[in-house]
Structure 1
């Protein structure tokens, strides 16, 4: 039997876009006094700009959310706006649509509708309320916010206009866009997209350029070096990948007689003589270097060091 909803629902708290637990302050003004109705989840699309946020929010706890829904029902309505052709688009609490779809797939004998409140939101209203729901105080990552701002940029064309519509700073738009674009550059080299920080992403985009062809990169040599290092790098955590990329363009001057050890353009460590006549070798980034290659790199560095010492 499908659940039916008829009473107005008042929203409180700050939303988590994929969860059946909290409301959103942003939704209060939209839903005030509006009655709740039931719609089949198949009739509800998700605002494209927040698809990334929804996917991220339900990725880790979809099963838990389905069981909460089954046990307690839907606690708060999804805010939707009407589309041509009798369809609707979810703007606030859109993750619940995905949860109910999954619930119905798992429990075909207990099919649920989605409790919704319909509001004729303009594009500007929809983007503003969606932006509030994925604000830094929410569980959305910088990558998810970057996804949102990238979609908003396609719609509004300039970062200034996106910032105005979404009522955020231009810096917030730019920093989150850096994360979205950095993840696109990193591709399958990064294991968990949400782990990419704004600081690391802004560094990477500052090196390789924010224009697609890299024409705005400060140094073509550094850009080429970083992209080559990325190509040679195995998949890993955000921390490890960015450490390798930074090492590939290490700009600090080596100590006297210190040699930088590199493998396929990536700095993997250093070699330098000690005051006692020995040699100190540090290899912080050599875990994935084949033993034979590592031996050759060290031998060549030792030979170069001897030549410098004898000259």
Structure 2
């Protein structure tokens, strides 16, 4: 058990609201510029529809924060930050399809397949996934090639059968299964949600040239916030409205999915999420005052309401 940090030792002057506003604006501008309209217009319009639909931009912001913490710059990390959001967007487009979760709304607007059809939505997700790798390779500057190659390889692992896809397949297989255990639930979310969140942090550190000890520390931080993120998601699916979520509430219950509240109840789920956040903060606190964004982002994850 990691000892939670004392609030007396946390940086007091950091303004998360201002930080998020600044980083979100930079990420939005970079995403918009990364994907201009071209022929055939339909596929680019579908890609941009979901990629530029808003959201917290948590993954790219974590990437930028970790890179800066390790002495790098936002310019070095921005292509990877955008690529992470492209992959995340792909996963949402595909997750919303009738063959998966069959959702009509995402971030308060119609899902991709409801606007463009299932065929175009599948292709839009495919195109975003493949373009993510190209974007890192083509547009990352002032970073040694071996670091860029490592990030590309790690992204492949995080999104494939060892990561996001593996978690999704176990998630689908577990729907309606009354024998699902907490261990299986952890496997699903460590891979489906956690792998890309973890890479968001470690990729920024890798691009900045961080040592293996620092990367391992940040990996531990990211694993904890990733699991806490999913626990909070499970709680919100029960406690928040569809308007607050920007998507259909109560979908987990309808699909007979195992969730953390179904094992622990809402209060214990919240306690478990907070414990993970405290442990994550304790892991990065020794990195100094520059860890303030990561500390604040950890609190943001557990306190969010949508």
Would you say same fold, with TM above 0.5? no
Larger radius of gyration: 1
Structure with the larger helix share: 2
Structure with the larger strand share: 1
Q: With structure 2 as the length reference, what TM-score do the two structures score?
A: 0.23
